[in-house]
């Protein structure tokens, strides 16, 4: 890492200080201050899944490419011998009075950054688990094959689902087309948008971090924001001004989209999240 810093910032640059910070749920994080006065955020992992940081870097660049909302600039990625991702260090600031309203509008504009197909050019990771992104023309097919089915199969292999719950989940996947709209356009999604995956920068504006980006139904991001308590109301009101939410069936779709993340938590952290899965699937079957 220090060799990289010298290559990027100059051979005469030295590390003045290191400060440990959160690197997310599964990584270590440190902010390195250089003799040049610049700061770099580095997240590392001693045993990451293959190309995990490379895939995260691709997601950050895709969000930045949308021009709708800030994401940290990628400085370098290394997978071997020690895996790390070096990003610009965002200086945290105080949220402005309109922080969540501005955040909602910016996210809606990012969701309008579209692709021809659902998916992404590469698979990536939601936490430590592989997130399939094989491109599809059909949103129902994509969500069934790339989101729900892999999580259900993994939880079943681990013995975390009882027979009745497994049957309910498999029935939902088979009938998913009854619940998901056919007219969805593939918008750029963060992929894991909860309260720990955004921050406030020095200007008082939102910055997206730790993405596992793909092109899909933007309401998947909104559903995730609501899974663990939700964001303030002005976030959703401002989002709705730019990109109106279809309320007719949103409550049903929200449960389906949250189900993916609940299953992902089951596969990461064990059976304590099975009741969440059961609660979400019960009204749907």
Domains of the chain by range and CATH? 2-88 (3.30.200.20), 99-284 (3.90.1200.10)
Using one digit for the tens of pLDDT, what is the confidence trace for 26-37? 788 999 998 888
Q: What is the mean pLDDT of residues 186-193?
A: 98
- Tell me the CA distances in angstroms from 152 to 1, 138, 196, 221, one per residue in order: 38, 20, 25, 20
- Token pair for residue 173? 């996947």
For residues 177, 181, 184, 186, the Cα torsion angle rounded to the nearest 10 degrees is -40
Handedness of CA 45, 46, 48, 50 (dihedral sign): positive
CA atoms within 13 A on the CB side of 167: 3
Q: Look at residue 199 and give its three-state secondary structure.
A: strand
**pLDDT confidence of residue 108:** 98
Average pLDDT, the chain: 94
Q: 3 vs 122, which has greater pLDDT?
A: 122
Q: Residue 7 pLDDT > 80, yes or no?
A: no
CB atoms within 10 A of CB 52: 22
Active site residue 162: no
Q: Look at residue 225 and give its three-state secondary structure.
A: helix
DSSP letter for 147, please.
Answer: I
Give 66-100 as a DSSP string.
HTSSB-PPEEEEE-SSSEEEEEE-PPB-PPPTTHH
Q: What is the mean pLDDT of residues 34-42?
A: 88
Q: Residue 109 pLDDT > 90, yes or no?
A: yes
Residue 203 CA, chain-centre distance (Å), reads 23
- Tell me the CA distances in angstroms from 269 to 26, 161, 225, one per residue in order: 12, 14, 20
Handedness of CA 140, 223, 193, 71 (dihedral sign): positive
Question: What is the C-alpha separation between 264 and 208, in angstroms, rounded?
Answer: 21
Q: What is the mean pLDDT of residues 139-156?
A: 98
Which of 192, 210, 217, 221 is an active site residue? 192
Q: Is the separation of the CB atoms in 25 and 194 below 8 Å?
A: no
Task: Count how many residues are written for the chain.
Answer: 285
Q: Residue 49 pLDDT > 90, yes or no?
A: yes
């Amino acid at each position: 890492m220090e060799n990289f810093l010298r290559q990027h910032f100059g051979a005469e640059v030295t590390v003045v200080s290191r400060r440990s910070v959160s690197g997310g749920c599964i990584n270590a994080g440190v902010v390195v201050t250089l003799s040049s006065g610049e700061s770099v955020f580095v997240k590392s992992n001693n045993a990451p899944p293959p190309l995990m940081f490379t895939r995260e870097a691709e997601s950050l660049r895709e969000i930045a490419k949308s021009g709708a909302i800030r994401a940290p600039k990628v400085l370098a990625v290394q997978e071997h011998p020690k895996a790390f991702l070096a990003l610009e260090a965002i200086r945290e600031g105080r949220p402005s009075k309109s922080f969540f309203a501005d955040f909602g509008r910016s996210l809606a504009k990012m969701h309008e950054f579209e692709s021809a197909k659902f998916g992404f050019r590469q698979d990536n990771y939601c936490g430590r688990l592989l997130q399939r992104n094989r491109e599809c023309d059909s949103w129902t097919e994509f969500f069934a094959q790339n989101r729900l089915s892999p999580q259900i199969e993994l939880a079943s292999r681990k013995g975390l689902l009882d027979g009745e719950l497994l049957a309910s989940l498999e029935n939902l996947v088979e009938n998913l087309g009854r619940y998901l709209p056919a007219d969805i356009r593939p918008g750029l999604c963060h992929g894991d948008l909860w309260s720990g995956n955004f921050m406030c920068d020095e200007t008082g504006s939102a910055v997206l971090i730790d993405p596992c980006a793909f092109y899909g139904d933007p309401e998947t991001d909104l559903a995730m924001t609501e899974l663990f308590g939700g964001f303030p109301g002005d976030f959703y009101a401002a989002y709705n001004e730019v990109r109106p939410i279809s309320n007719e069936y949103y409550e049903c779709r929200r449960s389906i989209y949250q189900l993916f993340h609940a299953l992902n938590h089951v596969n990461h952290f064990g059976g304590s999240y099975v009741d969440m899965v059961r609660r979400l699937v019960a009204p749907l079957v």
